[in-house]
Structure 1
């Protein structure tokens, strides 16, 4: 392995940094920090009505007379406490802290501390950190083998160490650690048990090009990121330049990993992808995670569809990404009936704060890769100018303070604003936008922060009303528990599937925006200005590529907990237990259409819920022949079907569009604008024993949906019962899509088996 490069900051940047520091010192005569102060409740002065009044009086008494009469007087009190503790937290200088310590009733004070959260945090967001549930039932995915089809791996990253792994690899494993350029067989271990590379296709397509890294070593970072998300080991102190700091671990931290490199700097072709998946199946993997897809190809020409059929036959779960072409409908790839298709959602985490001179603190968004001193600078705002849309205008005020840019709704414009700010080398900038910065454009090259349109009026009011408004920007801060989350990412591709619209895709949504995971040290992970580029062993990336390995990891956990389940059963458990609600218990929102709730064409059944998937109550299973019956109904020729099945042992005796799938989608004619559709479904009782379930329906607008029978009574575990769904529908608004759900609710039990329903005009396909 080559040594890490040393990145030297050029002299202009060093001078620029010193300039920030000097201005920060000049702008703040005394540095302030947040302190937590404990007070003696028994000494509460009865002259005050509430303890809050007492604490405010204590803080006010610490301020100098000059500051008390200044327009820049800040609201120092952060919180008052009266239950868990008695006292307050406040922004105090060292002099003010000393004065507080001399106050009546003072007990103790100490600086506020940044909590260490467990990163990538997504496992916590998915409630996998509970004292019981899927993690523990699966022993963290122990000995399940996940094959990742991607751009390779950086094996030296700590996420791939084998500390804590059992020293006996499962006997079914037939793979190898393939030697290649800068990649020795000894690099593999009990975590990364296999690594292979496939580039014959790309070499054939580009015969004059030389492969720059002819091995399974990652030169893009994509494969390292996705594989560590699936099953990375525990790594303490991981962060992205101080953001999201904590203990990194994959969704299935005790699962084994095997990398199949098929993505190259020189290209990526279907033949290599097929070869990689083919080898993964032969090697004996349990789950395949593939964060890529092919657009505009029928199932019988799609290498992922073809290879995943073979995987499904052997009980291998294939988890795939929906694509990043949203929010338009019909942009999804991997809409393959026999695999899992995953959409991308946001998580409840953000970074950085804007602090106004009056003490108001606003949580915003920044990933500026340094702890810059942007403190108590003048806040500059002029509504009558468009300074942020011009490098020339910005340069004129570059050293005067923090620029407050006008609100923009066009996502392209905010990207331009950020670019202009970078080029102008500003001391600081505040952007206003509700457009999600969920992709790599959201990484900050300048000491800047984005605040929401909701928070903007108070900032603008302060900037316009004060004679000398000031502000500070705090970097390398991480906040979790942000509401509302998740929302479906605007970039996430939407159904219906062009390859086969008759199955509702995507299946589920998983965390995909701003995910922290392992990265490679030889690729730029961040930049400052236009000429400083920085590496990192961990990177924050966004995309359905990041969502897919979350679902792959959960599938690995389920495989460990239920080794007898088929790939269809695991997919069913994930779909019927997914949640359509965010952390405010409201329907999940759509960031592609800010005023709307997300439809199943964007999120499938909803956000993946691993612990509930462990015990789904009922499952919708399917056999390979069931999928062949669907191909027959599509009137695929015998040869076309054979390209997928590889065997003539299947027959077309019972062609049927009615696949036993855990969701429903029906299309009405654009001409008649009405119609009906009947579905037949069979569910298997995987609960503890006898159980009774009753149907509850939320009707799609314009439709009448009936279920027969409405009650399913199971006598024993693994019993199968069938029911029919009839949808009579009409176009309730011109070309509108409507959706609802069918939920089977267990009598006296906690099981709720939910299936999303979509009714849509045929023209959207």
Structure 2
């Protein structure tokens, strides 16, 4: 079974998703069709097929564990919301008046707004005997999608990193790529710890999550006249400029409840006599953010401040809370705790939610977005790319509540959700557009176009941050933040074939039985193939024990005839040379090979991972590949 972690820690800790096609009436005039798994699977397909696949469900793997299923399981309907949200992000049509409780109002559209879309439900609710997304159902859905003739698979799910031969998603994705189908997957929501990235097979586009330049803001005003910016989507507001008593959840604990439990605001952990009529501050972690608000409401609070734990840093997320709430950063949370402890009568007030545009810096990497290095094969840098995944507004199932909690009876047609599940379909939609422009490009060429045109700087022209003014690196964002318009004209691409992928599997030491899981074709492994020569759009060196590593790459010209010159941003502690430094192309689809020689520097004091880049430039195109070197 796949353990699902589709939403960042502190949000909905257990998620059960499926597709709702009540929203599919908006997906008209198709020119593509998209296939995504986000507790269900989505597709993109060319107009020439003119075939709307619709929605299917797969539950035999689940039933084998859960036992006999009633009729409520014989449906592809979305009663959770996650599937509708991701599907509309990938392929939703233009819809005016999209908003959440009046916030973010405007016209919404998916990445491929004229797409034909289909959904394949593979995940099911938790029951006594288990629940979630079973390998058998995931693979069955992927194979069905391939048979249905899809062009893009968008899979917003994951189950941790594992050997490729044991990874059903990797196996199914290989089958798809063999047929020219692009596969896009979420990187996971287990960040910011290193080595947490999942869906790491080189034939998959792996997507991290970052912010956009829009915030949903609620300010906290303290009795000491300090004002703190927080995030919220609550549809409830406090009377204007009226201050309320402020209490720490630890001071509001119920009898026989520990301080550690009370500060998290678990249901039943708070004493109503201490909480009633007050604003309570709760610590993020363990239980869902919305559940903390429910606990506060049950105890009689008029509002809640949700403070980040240290590991959450500056990342604040707008949630559709049941009461007035402001989610604040770790630093700001600490200042609120200090204020409470500095006075006998702490007071606070929270403003109503407002939409703010033009936020800088943006993007910033989400703390929950899973990080590299790739623990399965470190020569393949993962994630590949980052895309918007924080506070994303998209369609939502009206069978589900906006907070995702059973006690929430509200229903809305759009919702704002965060996670790498949300960033994945952004890339899927872009892939759909590229497939329209370049129907003969391979999945590897499309991936290369997206990666080598990405941006590593934010809108303030400084490097993308992890939060807290800390510079991010390729283990967070891969090649960088996606730039769709640039991807349309990449100049050069790093291409790969099924033969290249098969040699990659051979280099993993797989025997014939293991390789047969990926392909039934007869194949003889190349004795000369090296993992360092695998033609990936990024370069990752796991160690420099030998002192010098030579990497071979080849690029294909997909633009006008031009001459490219190599430029290197050299990682600290190593030397880098490119041979040749100039590549002249006289025709489209012409390929040229080059070598990158990376060596250790004498008396180097740098240890651990260092980061740089290789750029091929012709005055118009900027073909950038990240370089990561582990110095030990």
2:323 to 436, 446, 464: 446
Q: Separation in 2 of the partners of 1:301 and 1:535?
A: 40
Q: CA deviation at 1:429?
A: 4.3
Quote the offset at 1:230 in angstroms.
Answer: 0.3
From 433, 437, 440, give the equivalent of 1:557: 433
Q: How does 1:282-431 map to 2 (within 5 A)?
A: 282-354=147-219, 363-370=229-236, 372-378=237-243, 380=245, 389=263, 395-396=273-274, 398-399=276-277, 405=281, 421-430=296-305
Within 5 Å, which residues of 2 pair with 1:58-73?
Answer: none
Q: TM-score, normalised by structure 1?
A: 0.68
SS in 1 for 2:542: strand
Is this contact kept in 1: 2:230–2:316, CA < 8 A? no
Measure, in 1, the Cα distance between the counterparts of 2:513 and 2:250: 66
- Structure 2 CA distance for partners of 1:533 and 1:440, relative to 1, 3 Å: farther
Q: Is the 8 A contact 1:374 1:427 kept in 2?
A: no
- Residue 6 of structure 1 is matched in structure 2 by none
Q: Which of structures 1 and 2 has the larger relative contact order (alpha carbons within 8 angstroms, sep 6+)?
A: 2
Match of 1:751 among 600, 606, 621: 621
Match of 2:477 among 600, 603, 609: 603
Where in structure 2 are the equivalents of 1:34-183 lying within 5 Å?
151-157=17-23, 160-163=25-28, 165=29
Q: After TM superposition, give the deviation of residue 235 of structure 1 in Å.
A: 2.0
Measured in 2, the distance between the counterparts of 1:596 and 1:285 equals 41
1:685 aligns with 2:561: no
The reply to whether residue 249 of structure 1 matches residue 109 of structure 2 is yes
Give the Å deviation of 1:258.
Answer: 1.4
Q: Secondary structure at the match of 1:306?
A: helix
2 CA distance for matches of 1:732 and 1:208?
64
Cα deviation, residue 298, structure 1 = 1.7
Counterpart Cα distance in 1 of 2:389 and 2:160: 20
Question: How far 1:398 sits from its partner (Å)?
Answer: 3.9
SS at 2:450 equivalent = helix
Q: Secondary structure, in 3 states, of the residue corresponding to 2:177? A: helix
For residues 376 and 463 of structure 1, do their structure 2 counterparts lie closer, same or farther at Cα, with a shift above 3 Å needed? farther
Deviation for aligned residue 1:484: 1.6
Quote the residue 2:123 is aligned against: 263
> What do residues 119-170 of structure 1 show as CA deviations (whole Å, max 9, x unaligned)?
xxxxxxxxxxxxxxxxxxxxxxxxxxxxxxx94422222x54245x15xx88
Shift of 1:274: 1.1
1:497 aligned residue: 374
Are the aligned partners of 2:177 and 2:443 in contact in 1 as well (CA < 8 Å)? Answer: yes
The alignment partner of 1:742 has SS state of strand
Distance 1:392 1:162 in 2: 46
Q: Give the drift of 1:454.
A: 7.1
Give the C-alpha shift of residue 503 in structure 1: 0.9
Is 2:343 the counterpart of 1:477? no
Summarize the alignment of residues 605-754 of structure 1 with structure 2, pairs less than 5 Å apart.
605-649=479-523, 651-652=525-526, 654-657=528-531, 658-668=533-543, 675-689=547-561, 691-729=562-600, 736-746=608-618, 749-754=619-624
Q: Tell whether 2:394 aligns with 1:517.
A: yes
CA 1:365–1:761: 2 relative to 1, 3 Å: same
Tell me the secondary structure at the aligned position of residue 274 of structure 1.
Answer: helix
Whether the 8 Å contact between 1:152 and 1:263 is mirrored in structure 2 is: yes
Task: Return the alpha-carbon distance in structure 2 between the equivalents of residues 194 and 619 of structure 1.
Answer: 34
**Secondary structure of the residue that 2:243 maps to in structure 1?**
strand
Residues 396, 666 of structure 1: alpha-carbon distance in 2 compared, 3 angstrom cutoff: same
Query: Judging changes above 3 Å, is the alpha-carbon distance between structure 1 residues 568 and 174 closer, same or farther for their aligned structure 2 residues?
Result: closer
Cα distance, 1:326 vs structure 2: 1.6
- Answer yes or no: is the 8 Å Cα contact 2:492–2:558 preserved in 1: yes
Report deviation, 1:236. Answer: 2.1
- The secondary structure found in structure 2 opposite 1:483 is coil
Displacement of 1:209 after TM fit? 4.3
**8 Å contact kept, 2:246–2:346:** no
Q: By how many angstroms is 1:665 displaced? A: 0.3
**Stretch moving more, 204-213 or 547-556:** 204-213
TM-score, normalised with respect to structure 2: 0.82
1:297 Cα shift?
3.0
Contact 1:508-1:605 within 8 A present in 2 as well: yes
Q: In 1, distance between residues paired with 2:414 and 2:302?
A: 27
Unaligned runs of 5+ in 2: 1-15, 36-48, 126-130, 253-261
Shift of 1:367: 1.7
Kept in 2: contact 1:569–1:620 (CA 8 A): yes
> Distance in 2 between the 1:248 and 1:349 partners?
14
Q: 1:462 to 1:629 in 2, by over 3 A?
A: closer
Distance 1:490 1:237, change over 3 A: same
Give me the whole-angstrom Cα distance separating, in 2, the residues matched to 1:424 and 1:535: 24
**Which deviates more from structure 2 when the two are superposed, residues 694-703 or residues 431-440?**
431-440
In 2: Cα distance, 1:326 partner to 1:307 partner: 25
Displacement of 1:488 in angstroms is 1.5
Distance 1:611 1:537 in 2: 30
SS at match of 2:516: helix
- CA deviations on 1:318-371 (whole Å, 9 max, x unpaired) are 11111112222222221001121111112222213337599997643112133x
> Are the equivalent residues in 2 in contact too, given 1:398–1:425 (CA < 8 A)?
yes
Indicate how the Cα distance of structure 1 residues 439 and 206 shifts in structure 2: closer, same or farther if over 3 A, else same.
farther
Aligned residue in 2 for 1:506: 383
Could you list the per-position Cα deviations for residues 191-237 of structure 1 after superposition, in whole angstroms to 9, with x for gaps in the alignment?
A: 95422222222222333444633122223322111111100122222
1:637, 1:461 → 2: CA distance?
61
**What 5-or-longer segments of structure 1 have no aligned partner?**
1-149, 176-188
Is the radius of gyration larger for structure 1 or structure 2? 1
> Are residues 432 and 545 of structure 1, via their aligned partners in 2, closer, same or farther at CA, if it must alter by over 3 Å?
closer
| Other-structure match for 2:10 | none
Q: Is the 8 A contact 2:178 2:498 kept in 1?
A: yes
Structure 1 vs Structure 2 CA RMSD: 3.7
